Structure 1
């Protein structure tokens, strides 16, 4: 109890210096909260865009489909992986939030004298909207079931073909039965995803129309994209599906992390960055606290020598100085939390609008939002507080030990404070 009282009283003996140090700790804590919040928020946005635009949280394929994406390796191509059986097994899991069967192909699109290669994608729009958001990028029109053989084109691809809504587009492709699939489709929508590789190559058809064009049966698909509640749980869910006794032998579930390892590495790096940020800010905070406590010990050398000569134990001297540092840290954290929370209240709702400088940017195969929003998390708020508090205590340890080892005779000959 004596050490606590000494620590608190000593803190205010030089109130100006103490307030400066408390402010430094508080500013450091506020900066930590904001920087880590922005870093985690950016990683979250990248993950949301990367999985939400098209990929989904995980995907199901025939075991031989990837990486070649062979036209012939479909779910439903044999009795061991019937489409209805796979969809039924998926429906048994409460984590399931949406699933969308898809068919893919590659073909040559032409409108009169203009032609271009394209990636063909067959979907059911009603279930696709529960898995991905790329259809929200429609600039005009939509897949229209009232139009025979309706077609969506990426906006760059449409410009190359000089096609617009209502244009007739001929598609020629290799079919699964060895024949040459070809037919006329009518453009019913123009799509903009923000990813150049999709906007210049993607052609979206109804699932049944592409199955017919590729000579696939209605029970054959190349992919089932799956949405669950938490993308970070995708690895565990994919492993659970693959390990299930009733799971079809030739159907493999892969999480977004397996499908996009670069995105996984980036998200992991961004989420792990806050340890590095805490270390850097903690180092600067420790230097400030060390300077403050060294000055305090120097100014009090005479009285420290006096109480030591009167019999005060070295442990009590160390404790009083460490507790003074602890009070510095706690008061700084209280102020810094308020400042950081105020900054985060703006950054989590309004964000940093970078559209003036960056415009539309894509990275690692996903779109980056021009408005960067922070993400609040009690985990990093608490870890940051513990990191800075530890830094203040460690910084005070050297001055505290130095004070406890002062020679009383030499200390009493030191100049009086003030």
Structure 2
């Protein structure tokens, strides 16, 4: 208790320097929350958007399908995998799907595209980026019907609109070419040129018949989660539950979307390096403050040691000063950062004028509105880093103070 009182007296002795150092810590917290919060929001947004483009946060696929996505690799009975997925905590949706490539033709025009076969009775707009982006017409209502939802870019290339016919030519499960007639029921516009020009939604049961998959075959089961961070845990549990199935493999979004995963990993690394640089600058400021304080009080500390304080107590005193300086900086950081974080988490900054409405990265459309969200572990990591840096920066001044020789410094004028 006595050391805490002495520490506060020391900090209040030069209030201007203490406040400046506290503000530097607060500004560091402001930057850390900005970098981490924008990263948490943008990474989660991109991962969720990528998942909504077909394969989910976790995917239970036919063995080898992800490495080589051929329609000859398929799951005849996805039922056990779907039941196992529904039994996992944090799962918000489970969907049987078929994804493949084919040629779409209308009249004399044709274009290659990726198709995603879905069950309209199960699909939810919150889990399907293309369904929620329909701007004309609607999603087909029958799973065994001939409806098709195409992108605006493809509609323009093939001169199609709702009600028009389009023919799909595709290689079935046995490697034979087969064709099927569909009628456009809707048109979506995502803002991503590649998706709008090369993606089609088709009815699941009709595609099963076309490919010879029988009544229940799929290429994968898409699993959607409330929180993308639990993907690894859910994948491990599914793998454990399906260990007897040699014909399936459980994948997270990192395996199904390697480009996006790599982009996020690199961006996160640069984010951490930038925060480390900021932290080192703040630590240098704290080191300077504590060292100046120790040098200015050499005679005082020497007298305290002459009166009975041990070097260990002097070291503790300086470290306690640093701790309370960190607490002051955190308090100032909360006051400085809270209004900014509230605005950025609720409203954000629209960057569409700088990056455009159709900016994509890692094959995923990027939200042009910069926002923030801060996970609990991210906030805890920032606070822990602040106190660690504050205490680490005070270690040298503390031992410098503990090494003072009372006889020498008392003689100093």
Q: Shorter-chain TM-score category?
A: 0.7 to 0.9
What is the distance in 2 between the residues matched to 1:219 and 1:380? 43
Counterpart position of 2:2:
2
Q: Secondary structure at the match of 2:122?
A: helix
What is the distance in 1 between the residues matched to 2:323 and 2:85? 54
Alignment CA distance shift 1:362-1:206 (3 Å): same
CA drift at 1:402: 2.4
* In the alignment, structure 1 residue 132 sits paired with structure 2 residue 128: yes
Aligned length: 410
Counterpart position of 2:232:
235
Counterpart position of 1:33:
33
Moved more, 246-255 or 28-37: 246-255
Aligned ranges 1:288-367 → 2 under 5 Å: 288-359=285-356, 360-367=358-365
Counterpart position of 1:382:
380
Alignment CA distance shift 1:178-1:252 (3 Å): closer
Counterpart position of 1:281:
278
Q: Is the 8 A contact 1:99 1:131 kept in 2?
A: no
Q: Is the 8 A contact 2:315 2:398 kept in 1?
A: yes
Counterpart position of 2:193:
196
CA drift at 1:105: 4.1
* In the alignment, structure 1 residue 62 sits paired with structure 2 residue 59: no
> What's the Cα RMSD here?
2.9
TM-score after normalising by structure 2? 0.88
CA drift at 1:279: 3.2
Alignment CA distance shift 1:387-1:234 (3 Å): closer
Q: Secondary structure at the match of 1:54?
A: coil
TM-score after normalising by structure 1? 0.87
Counterpart position of 2:146:
149
Q: Secondary structure at the match of 2:4?
A: helix
* In the alignment, structure 1 residue 397 sits paired with structure 2 residue 395: yes
Residues 252-306 of structure 1: per-residue CA shift (max 9 Å, x gap) = 3322222223433444566677754553333222211222222223322333344
What is the distance in 2 between the residues matched to 1:64 and 1:288? 55
What is the distance in 2 between the residues matched to 1:286 and 1:105? 54
Aligned ranges 1:171-182 → 2 under 5 Å: 171-176=168-173, 180-182=177-179
Question: Whose radius of gyration is greater, 1 or 2?
Answer: 1
Counterpart position of 1:370:
368
Residues 327-367 of structure 1: per-residue CA shift (max 9 Å, x gap) = 22211111112222222111111123211111221111222
Q: Secondary structure at the match of 1:219?
A: coil
CA drift at 1:135: 1.0
Q: Is the 8 A contact 2:302 2:405 kept in 1?
A: yes
